[in-house]
Amino acid sequence: MRIAVVDDERPARSELKYLVEQCEPEAEIAEADGSEEFLAMLENETFDVCFVDWKMPGLDGLETTR
């Protein structure tokens, strides 16, 4: 399973990554520190699940999902 964790705050990304690893230890987890980086990742990668923070500076998570 491939999972993306997108959040502008490193501690939040780290905590979510830790929690996901506890539930899905075999998962491949990719991290992005913002929507722009995440959208660039989507050009070359696909994910089964994406956790995207909805309140980030610049392009927020809600705009990213459109």
Please write the tens of the pLDDT for every residue from 14-30. Answer: 999 999 999 999 999 99
pLDDT class of 2 with cuts at 50, 70, 90 = very high
Instruction: Give the helix, strand, coil percentages of the chain, each rounded to 5.
Output: 40, 20, 40
Confidence (pTM): 0.88
Residue 53 CB-density burial (10 A; 0-12 exposed, 13-18 middle, 19+ buried): buried
Give the mean pLDDT of the chain: 93
pLDDT attached to residue 24: 95
When pLDDT is averaged across residues 24-50 and rounded to a whole number, the result is: 96
In a 13 Å sphere around the CA of 42, the CA atoms on its Cβ side amount to: 15
Residue bearing the bigger pLDDT, 60 or 54: 54
- Give CA–CA dist 15/65, Å, rounded: 22
